[in-house]
Amino acid sequence: MGGLNRRRLLQGSAGGLLAASTRTAWGQSKPEKLVFVGENSLAWKRTLIEEVAPAFEKATGIKIEFTLLPVDAWRARLKAELSAESTGIDLAMLSVQMAGWMSAHLLDHNEVVAKIMARDPSFAWDDFLAGGKVAGTYDGRLAGIPYRLTAQILHYQKELLEKAGFAQAPATFAEFEKAALAVNAPPSRYGFGLMGKQGAGTFTNVVPWLFSAGGRLVDFNTGEIFLNDGRAAAGLQFYADLVLKDKVVPPEAMTWEFDEIIAGAQKDRYAMSVTFSSYGTLFNDPKLSQTGGRWAWATMPGHTEKAQSRSIVDGQFMAISKYSKNADWAMEFIRMACSKEAMLRSMEGGNAPPRGSSLRNPAMVAKLGWPAAAAEAIETGIPISSNPTWDGLELSLRAGVSQALLGQKTAKQALDDVAVEWKRNLRRAGIIK
């Protein structure tokens, strides 16, 4: 199946792109390259980098120059260059939480979609999930074309849990703790893997535990802070206790972020994790992973009952800078990268494409396993905030979570202190007086 998809991508999409380019009366000269800035999680960009970009270059003669940076450096680079109205960036990837401050520097992608559909109706905008379109919209403007739509789900080695007496995935926090203790076998394999490094992975890894305990964060409309009402602290304390009290987390996980949580699963360092749904592809691929074929998936447990299970819905979008001198060519690259063929192909590389035809593809559902749990998690998930003030709040929360994981503060103490800092940030932003 993979070979067939690749042929369609390299021959069908590229050929269609070249034909469309020929038909179009271009108002722009052909550049030597398009500059693309994104973050450096390479695994799920494999199709984009290794297949789509070379096919685009073959069809047009235009090279895609990728600048891929760690998350915080990626955001800083885009803020600096876009704020300066630099013409040095043509294409950018942005996450949901970046839409608030980036949208003013990007084309309105509602108009981009209209142009793409006029040239190529097979792009099928209706095939993109409504949730992805909503997540990428800020103040009525579509900030980018959805490329990835994610939710955190439970990944678990099914046979290990069954041998320990757990016929089904844990449904509550208490069941999860029992299962983690039962399959914990240090130093070779631990019960639970997490992203313990204070950094870009901190928030997305911990927040499902906060939400599933009934916690909330903040209402940007009123400035009301909910983080320290006790419910989020219950989720954080449980998360920290898995490290400190139960000792079911690999010691090196305190240095883990995105690539490391994948490598930990592939090297059989843990039996369960709550992380991005599409990482299941990389966990379970026998060509990449020592644990290939052993994983199963479910929505994450709820605090005291399964119905409380909540994840955060996030994603990444491909966008054209409004300062680019090569917007038409950038649009053609997006058309190719986000086509049905390329999106379906990207699933095999660990992407979670926001197209219904991809997530419902019977062969992919059977092969990968995780799409059903991901779809369920997205249905009840809570979208990440795109308010421009959120970035500063997240930095404070990272520090508080880290303090709890290291045992420097209880979860309640840590979140109480974070809430104080949040109040200062909201006041500086003019959201509260």
327-337 and 109-119 are packed helices; what angle lies between their axes, rounded to 10 degrees? 70
> How many other C-beta atoms are found inside a 10 Å radius of the C-beta of residue 2?
10
What is the pLDDT, as a whole number, of residue 349?
82
Instruction: Give 179-234 pLDDT, tens digit per residue.
Output: 999 999 999 999 999 999 999 999 999 999 999 999 999 999 999 999 999 999 99
State pLDDT tens for residues 286-295: 999 999 999 9
CB 261 within 8 A of CB 199: no
Per-residue pLDDT tens digits for 17-47: 444 443 443 556 899 999 999 999 888 999 9
Residues in the chain: 433
Identify the pLDDT of residue 43: 82
Tell me what the mean pLDDT of segment 342-358 comes to.
Answer: 91
234/253 Cα distance (integer angstroms): 22
pLDDT at 327: 97
Q: What is the mean pLDDT of residues 240-267?
A: 98
Q: Is 136 helix (H, G, I), strand (E, B) or coil?
A: coil
- The model's confidence at residue 379, banded by pLDDT at 50, 70 and 90, is confident
- Type and span of the H or E element at 74: helix 71-83
DSSP assignment of 159-199, as one string? HHHHHTT-SS---BHHHHHHHHHHH-BTTTBEEEE---SSS
For residue 9, pLDDT over 90 is answered with no
Residue type, 330: A
Instruction: Collapse the DSSP code of 141 into the 3-class scheme (helix H, G, I; strand E, B; otherwise coil) and give the result.
Output: strand
Predicted TM-score (pTM) of this structure: 0.82
Task: Give the CA angle between residues 374, 200, 427 to the nearest 5°.
Answer: 105
The whole-angstrom separation of Cα 198 and Cα 405 is: 10
User: In sequence order, what are the beta bridge partners of 35?
Assistant: 65
Three-class secondary structure of residue 213 per DSSP: coil
Q: What's residue 21's pLDDT?
A: 44
The C-alpha R_g of the chain, in whole angstroms, comes to 22
Joined together, the tokens standing for residue 223 give 């400035």
What are the beta bridge partners of residue 275? Answer: 153
Average pLDDT over residues 109-133: 95
Q: What is the mean pLDDT of residues 83-92?
A: 98
- Alpha carbons 139 and 268: distance in angstroms, whole number: 45
* Alpha carbons 279 and 277: distance in angstroms, whole number: 5
Q: Is 169 helix (H, G, I), strand (E, B) or coil?
A: coil
> Can you list the domains of the chain with their CATH numbers?
2-149+315-380 (3.40.190.10), 150-312+385-427 (3.40.190.10)
